[in-house]
């Protein structure tokens, strides 16, 4: 029965692949075609998938499965690849960004609201992004001067991206560096938090088989199979693994970032099941993680110049997104202009910059806005509470208000936290 079910699913897969071609053809009639740069990436992905079809369950399902894979499924992929490389590519535009498509301005405005969960315009976000980039560049330049680096700002970034002192010596050595920051942050958590998760947390090396598919690593929440929150770090290529962002990564990915926010929500039995296990509001989840990374200054984690620089570079990355994402999708920026902006302000390879510009304009337009927009919203909300409560402001209470009731839109979060400032009087 399982084998029969598997064969049926393979045939369903073949129908899905054929439906993708039909969908692309229908989009094409409405003037919606991926730009040339993205067609290249899609074609490579389809060809790789097709080449690896033979390894899927090769020994498990017998001749019937082999027949479907080598027949219907492979044929469907070949037809899709031929269409993408032929007629589709011939109609692909050179410019990237939603503003070049019919209805693109309206669609991007929708995506901005969806991903930031606020009513805000692309222009407002971009202006805030420019302000943050300028502020961070000034702070980074002050560090450059304090370190007595004789070159200019560009030379300083090139030094940071190339000097071997800022790179891991081994997988184990990078893990030990992360562990030191985990211990430092753990010791200082009580000064800012009154509620912490029951679930424990660790850092572990990423499986070597996944090293090519992960740039930095990822956080995995506790589960019945693995009841410890884990940050899996990727240091399998030490010569390419910068240590500058190690402290900021721990604060963002583990404590008090994703681990605190996700685990406190999952452990809160007062929430309905849907809200305990739902994390749809990216601006809240990633905004909290970026805010948590910013807490490293209060916790004394960035006292070392290297850790301070790493945080500034990470902050520059998410701040630059507020400039480039609207630039490409709302204001008609060319890919070259976006590339030059990122090259000027970030410490990224040319390959990473190329990937980032496609991410903003074709893969996930608007999604990258969520990180900095969320952080800024929480920082603005904290300032509002500090000004309202003055000497009575309690940072531990503020953190309970923000992450104590689970993920929510930033608009709802502001209403929720503001309500804590003047709770209703109890009636007898």
3-state secondary structure of 230: strand
- Segment 199-205 shows an average pLDDT of 96
Which residue intervals of 189-332 are DSSP H helices?
246-249, 258-266, 273-276, 282-294, 305-329
Q: How far apart are CA 412 and CA 283, in angstroms?
A: 12
% of residues, the chain, pLDDT over 90: 79
In tens, the pLDDT along 88-116 reads 999 999 999 999 999 999 999 999 999 99
CA–CA dist 188, 194 (Å, integer): 12
Separation CA 408–CA 420 (nearest Å): 16
When pLDDT is averaged across residues 212-234 and rounded to a whole number, the result is 88
Check: CB of residue 191 under 8 Å from CB of residue 205: no
Indicate whether 211 pLDDT > 80: no
Tell whether the model's pLDDT for residue 425 goes beyond 70: no
pLDDT tens track for 54-95:
645 545 557 788 888 889 999 999 999 999 999 999 999 999
CB 188 within 8 A of CB 299: yes
pLDDT score of 427 more than 60: no
Are 387 and 379 in contact, with CB atoms under 8 Å apart? no
Q: Which helix (H) or strand (E) holds 143?
A: helix 122-146
* Burial degree of 192 (CB within 10 A; 0-12, 13-18, 19+): middle
Looking at residue 279, what is its pLDDT? 85
Which pLDDT band holds residue 48 (cuts at 50, 70, 90)?
confident
Predicted confidence (pLDDT) at residue 428 exceeds the cutoff of 50: no
Q: Model-level pTM?
A: 0.89
Q: What's the mean pLDDT when you consider all of the chain?
A: 92
Q: Which residue would you say has higher pLDDT here, 401 or 3?
A: 401
Confidence at residue 424, expressed as pLDDT on a 0 to 100 scale: 61
């Amino acid at each position: 029965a399982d084998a029969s079910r598997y064969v049926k699913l393979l045939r369903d897969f073949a129908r899905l692949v054929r439906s993708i071609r039909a969908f692309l053809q229908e989009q094409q009639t409405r003037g919606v075609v991926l730009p040339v740069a993205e067609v290249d990436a899609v074609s490579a992905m389809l060809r790789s998938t097709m080449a690896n079809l033979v390894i899927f369950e090769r020994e498990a399902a017998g001749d019937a499965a082999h027949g479907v894979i080598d027949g219907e499924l492979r044929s469907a992929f070949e037809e899709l690849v031929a269409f993408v490389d032929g007629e589709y590519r011939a109609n692909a535009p050179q410019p990237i960004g939603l503003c070049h498509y019919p209805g693109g301005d309206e669609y991007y405005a929708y995506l901005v609201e969806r991903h930031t969960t606020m009513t805000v315009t692309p222009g407002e976000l971009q202006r805030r992004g420019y302000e943050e980039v300028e502020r961070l560049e000034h702070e980074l330049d002050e560090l450059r001067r304090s370190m007595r680096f004789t070159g200019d700002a560009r030379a300083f970034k090139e030094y940071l991206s190339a000097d071997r002192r800022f790179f891991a010596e081994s997988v184990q050595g990078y893990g030990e560096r992360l562990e030191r920051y985990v211990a430092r942050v753990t010791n200082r958590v009580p000064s800012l938090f009154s509620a912490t998760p029951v679930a424990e947390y660790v850092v572990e090396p990423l499986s070597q088989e996944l090293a090519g598919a992960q740039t930095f690593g990822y956080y995995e929440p506790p589960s019945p199979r693995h009841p410890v929150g884990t940050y899996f770090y990727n240091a399998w290529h030490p010569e390419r693994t910068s240590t500058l962002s190690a402290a900021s990564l721990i604060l963002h990915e583990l404590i008090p970032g994703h681990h605190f926010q996700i685990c406190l929500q999952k452990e809160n039995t007062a929430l309905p099941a849907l809200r305990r296990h739902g994390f749809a509001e990216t601006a809240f989840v990633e905004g909290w993680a970026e805010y948590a990374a910013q807490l490293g200054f209060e916790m004394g984690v960035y006292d070392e110049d290297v850790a301070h620089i790493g945080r500034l570079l990470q902050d520059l990355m998410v701040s630059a997104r507020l400039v480039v994402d609207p630039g490409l999708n709302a204001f008609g920026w060319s890919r070259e202009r976006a590339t030059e902006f990122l090259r000027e302000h970030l410490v990224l390879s040319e390959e990473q910059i190329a990937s980032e510009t496609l991410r903003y304009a074709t893969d996930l337009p608007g999604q990258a806005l969520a990180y900095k927009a969320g952080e800024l919203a929480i920082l603005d909300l904290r300032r509002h509470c500090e000004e309202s409560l003055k000497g009575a402001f309690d940072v531990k209470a503020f953190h309970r208000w923000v992450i104590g009731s689970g993920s929510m839109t930033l608009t709802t979060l502001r209403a929720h936290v503001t309500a804590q400032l003047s709770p209703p009087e109890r009636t007898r």
